Amino acid sequence: MLNALRTKIFADGADLDTILRLARDPRLKGFTTNPSLMWKAGLTDYAEFAERLLSEITDRPVSFEVFADDATEMRRQARRIADWGDNVYVKIPVSTTSGETTAPLVRELSLGGVKLNVTALMTVRQVTETAAALDGGAPSIVSVFAGRIADAGVDPLPIMREALEILRPVPQAELLWASPREVLNLVQASEIGCHIITMTHDLLPKLDSLGKDLEQFSLETVQMFHRDAVSAGFTL
């Protein structure tokens, strides 16, 4: 079933050993990171991590995020990150922490040839503004956090469908379904024609359940419960 899906899968994480192991999986078409994941992984040297990763992964896109909070420093960091490799996409948040749009910087960098991954979008307005900023620029990714939209109790599918339509006149920009919560999101992304989905390292193993016979899945679940109860030595 996985081969029939149209959406490319990118692995999302910051554990170097895991990323390099996953890089051997032909199902994965790219990789993304972010400062939060890197902090949780205990990383302290951003450039060293990137250098080691990019020395092994040269044939698929890898996204690294700036961590500055003003346009001047974002610009400097973005240009430095872009120099790390031809397969590097620079992640720029859709706004600063005070809510100021980064669209002018996105426009400048994209027209200057920097491949961008504009991240943390959640509204149609943000997609519209970002599409205009990327129009005519370098290859780019627009990351809409569908999983977080769903966490707010809002159905992300209408937003993702509209985002695809907004990006249609910007052919070098791909829509990325970010923060999925379950394998079903991959199926949903494929059904609407979303270009990319990210999946965290703990979600990727669940791909093996895709298309599984539900009767068999039910039996395996019953067997798991029984096996774990026996292993625990429970008595009544």
Give me the half-sphere count of Cα atoms (radius 13 Å) on the Cβ side of residue 93: 16
DSSP conformational letter for 197: E
The pLDDT of residue 47 is 92
The pLDDT of residue 34 is 87
Beta-bridge mates of residue 119: 93
Total residues found in the chain within this entry: 236
> Is 212 marked active-site?
no
7 vs 155: CA distance, rounded Å: 19
CA 143 centroid distance within chain: 7
With beta carbons less than 8 A apart as the criterion, state whether 179 and 145 touch: yes
With beta carbons less than 8 A apart as the criterion, state whether 49 and 38 touch: yes
CATH number at residue 67: 3.20.20.70
User: Helix 184-192 to helix 156-167 angle, to the nearest 10 degrees?
Assistant: 40
Residues (pLDDT < 50) of the chain are: none
The pLDDT of residue 130 is 98
**234 is a domain residue:** no
53 vs 37: CA distance, rounded Å: 15
Q: How many domains are there within the chain?
A: 1
**101 is a domain residue:** yes
**219 is a domain residue:** no
**217 is a domain residue:** no
Under 8 Å CB-to-CB from 231, ≥6 apart: which residues?
A: none
The pLDDT of residue 40 is 86
* Structural domain containing residue 58: 2-209
**186 is a domain residue:** yes
Token pair, residue 97, equals 């922490």
**232 is a domain residue:** no
Catalytic residue from among 8, 40, 91, 206: 91
